[in-house]
Amino acid sequence: MEDIDLTDLDRFAHGFPHAVFDELRERAPVWWHPPTAHTPDGEGFWVISRYADIVAVAGDSATYSSERGGQRPGGGTLIEDLPVDWAVGVLLNMMDDPRHAEVRRLLMPSLAPRTLRLIEDDLRARAATIVDSAVDKGDCDFLLDLAAELPLQAVAQLLGVPQEDRHRLFGWANVALDYDDRDLGEATARTQRAVAETRAYGARLFEAKTADPAEDLMSLAAHATIAGQPLSAMEKAMLFSLLIAAGSETTRNSIAVGMLALIERPEIWPALRRDRSQLDGAVEEMLRWASSTSYNRRTATRDTVLRDRRIRAGDKVTLWWTSANRDASVFADPFRFDITRRPNPHLAFGRGGHFCLGSTLARMEMRVIFDTLLDRVDTVELTGPVEYTRSNKHTGVRHMPVRLTRTAD
Ligand code: HEM
């Protein structure tokens, strides 16, 4: 146990360290992670690794805040404290009710199944173009050429971002979310520039949508009011950054890591090509398997007890969704990738009041891209080493070289 350091990002650079969490679930399900040389703010935090405890904590936002708790000046849902009124209390996912529920209610209709059904045909047409151009290349980077494109195009469409700007935004989100040149809690000139550029872009977009609204989410947020008041300029800028990041990064990682699981089990691809009714089950298993958001943090608002461990007001408490998704008390044989797994109550999208707002969109994107690939691609093989993202927050890949062979029919 002394060797565990969940803040040393090098330990996440080759994929999620499942063995560490097997041990934590078994021996110390509510574990106090002492500060190490890598830990931000120089203080420890609680690590919750079992499914049932994570569900309980995520469902109790009065005791476990996404915003702040105790005497600490900052808070939020990352291990490192973020400043209040910059991210905390301003970003939707780092707000508590009642404000959180009000902002969430504003956005829900744009991401609801009924609305998204209207864009499914458009997503299918986009997926066909993406897959065709990757198949024409034959040898390509599955992450950049396939997994990243549909989520990015979809979120650009949803927010009302001109498609020609999407790669610039993708570049900024990559720099802000990856940790290739820094440690937790550190910002480099490059990351600061990327964050500032995303926010400035969002502010300009809001100005444009305020003056000339269209049928998109940014126009809706530009004109929305809560109790007669518009969203603050900071709330709007942060909402834009959140949706660009949440909408593109996580889904592409689930697609890429899901594809990797299929490549490693070559019998599944032809079976899915023959019987597409298995695709929904495959998507759910890919979501569980990839668990692309590894953890989210809460802060205890009062002294409490979890499995006999005393948690104090102000303590940081981290919920490891990826670990819950490998908990053998819920998932039989959890390290078996099984597209027929039923039920599959994975926590890839979180649980409780902050349950992912984009889950229907993410599922639709995954279904559409894999459906299109299955129609047009006979085999997918790896042609080089997979490069993983160096992050304990987002499990995913940077590059994944593959060869695609077009179907004969
Ligand atoms: C496979 C893809 C995705 C995964 C694994 C994922 C995962 C998650 C998780 C675990 C949370 C909960 C955070 C917490 O409890 O602190 C969350 C929240 C959220 N997600 Fe996703 N997400 C995905 C796709 C998307 C997409 C496509 C969008 C938007 C277009 C999106 C927007 C959001 C938003 C706005 C929240 C905050 C909700 C709130 O605080 O009420 N996500 N996501």
In the chain, which residues have pLDDT < 50?
Answer: none
pLDDT of residue 198: 87
Residue 207: per-residue pLDDT: 92
If DSSP codes are grouped into helix, strand and coil, which group holds residue 387?
strand
pLDDT at 280: 98
pLDDT at 56: 98
> CA separation (Å) from 304 to 28, 72, 148, 264, 347?
18, 17, 42, 44, 24
366 ligand 1 Cβ < 6 A: no
Pocket test for ligand 1, best of 92, 323, 356, 370 (most atoms within 8 A of CB): 356
Burial class (CB in 10 A: 0-12, 13-18, 19+), 391: buried
Q: 104 CB under 6 A from ligand 1?
A: yes
212 CB burial (10 A radius; 0-12, 13-18, 19+): exposed
Residue nearest to atom 12 of ligand 1 (CA): 350
Name the residue of 250, 287, 317, 391 to mutate for ligand 1: max ligand atoms within 8 A of Cβ. 250
Please report, for residues 296, 320, 358, 379, the alpha-carbon distance to residue 348 in angstroms, rounded to integers and kept in the order given. Answer: 11, 10, 12, 28
Alpha-carbon distance 189 to 198, whole Å? Answer: 14
Nearest CA to ligand 1 atom 34: 357
Looking at residue 409, what is its pLDDT? 66
- A 10 A CB-CB count for 125 gives 12
pTM of the model: 0.96
pLDDT tens for 233-268 read: 888 888 988 998 888 889 999 999 999 999 999 999
Q: Is the peptide bond before 34 cis (omega within 30 degrees of 0)?
A: no
Measured distance CA(346)–CA(281) in Å, rounded: 12
**CA proximity to 85, closest of 108, 101, 68, 104:** 68
The residue with tokens 């299929």 is: 262
Q: What is the pLDDT of residue 221?
A: 93
- Is the C-alpha dihedral spanning 269, 275, 276, 278 positive or negative? negative
For residue 164 the two structure tokens come to 């020609």
- CATH number at 9-406: 1.10.630.10
3 state SS of 382? strand
- pLDDT value of residue 95: 96
Domains of the chain, by residue range, sit at 9-406
